[in-house]
Structure 1
Amino acid sequence: MSADAKTPLDHVNATLSQLKEMRHYSKNYVEQLTAQWLLFDGELKKLAQAQRIEELMTRQGELYDALDKEIAELEEVAVSLQPAAEDAPAALH
C-alpha cells in the first residue's frame, strides 16, 4: 500500500473529525441563539417573530442530536476497524 493510500479506518477517523467539528460549532450556535432568544424574547413576540426563532432552535438542536448519534455510531465502526490485539506488540511484565 502506498503512503498516500488511506485505509477504511483513516476514512472513518477523518469523517469523525469533521463531524466532531460540526458538533462543536453546532453547540456554539445553539448556545448563541438561545442567549439571543433570552435577551429578545419579549421583543420578538411583539414583532411576531418568536415562532420562527423557536423553530430554528428546535432544528439546530435536532442537528446537534443527530451529529451525536452519528459520531457514536462511527466511533463503534472505528473500534471494529482497529488492528487485532495480536498485531500489537506484547506487553512487558
Structure 2
Amino acid sequence: MSVDTKTPLEHVNDTLAQLKEMRHYAKNNVETLTAQWLLFDGELKKLKQTSSIETLMTRQGELHDALNDEITALEELAVTLQPPPEEA
C-alpha cells in the first residue's frame, strides 16, 4: 500500500495540468467541428441535421468555458497554497 505524500498544492497543480490539457483538446474540438460545419452547412440543412450539430457545438463551447472557469479558480487557490517565502 502506497502512502500519498503530495501536498495540497501539488494536488492542485496536478489537477490544473490535467484541466489545461482538457481545455486544449476542447478548443481543438470546437475548431474542428466549426470547420466541418462551415464546409457542410448547406448539405446538413438539406438533410435536416443542423439542429443536432448546433447542439454539439454549443455544448462543446460550454465545456471549454467551464474548463476556463475552473482553471482560473484553481490557479487562484494555488496562489493561496504557496508556502510563505523564507526569511533570510
Q: Same fold (TM over 0.5)?
A: yes
Runs of 4+ residues deviating >4 angstroms: none
Q: In 1, Cα distance between the equivalents of 2:57 and 2:43?
A: 17
TM superposition shift of 1:8: 0.3
5+ residue gaps, structure 1 = none
Aligned Cα root-mean-square deviation (Å) = 1.4
What residue number does 1:33 align with? 33
Instruction: Please show how residues 14-33 of structure 1 align to structure 2 within 5 Å.
Output: 14-33=14-33
Q: 1: CA distance between counterparts of 2:44 and 2:66?
A: 28
Partner deviation per Cα, 1:26-48 (whole Å, 9 max, x = no partner): 00000000000000000000000
Percent pairwise identity: 73
For normalisation by structure 2, the TM-score amounts to 0.93
Equivalent residue, structure 2, for 1:57: 57
1:9-63, Cα deviation, whole Å (9 max, x unpaired): 0000000000000000000000000000000000000000011000000000000
Q: Following the alignment from structure 2 to structure 1, what is the Cα–Cα distance between the partners of residues 84 and 76?
A: 15
Partner Cα distance (2:5, 2:70) in 1: 25
Larger Rg: 1
One-letter code aligned to 1:67: L
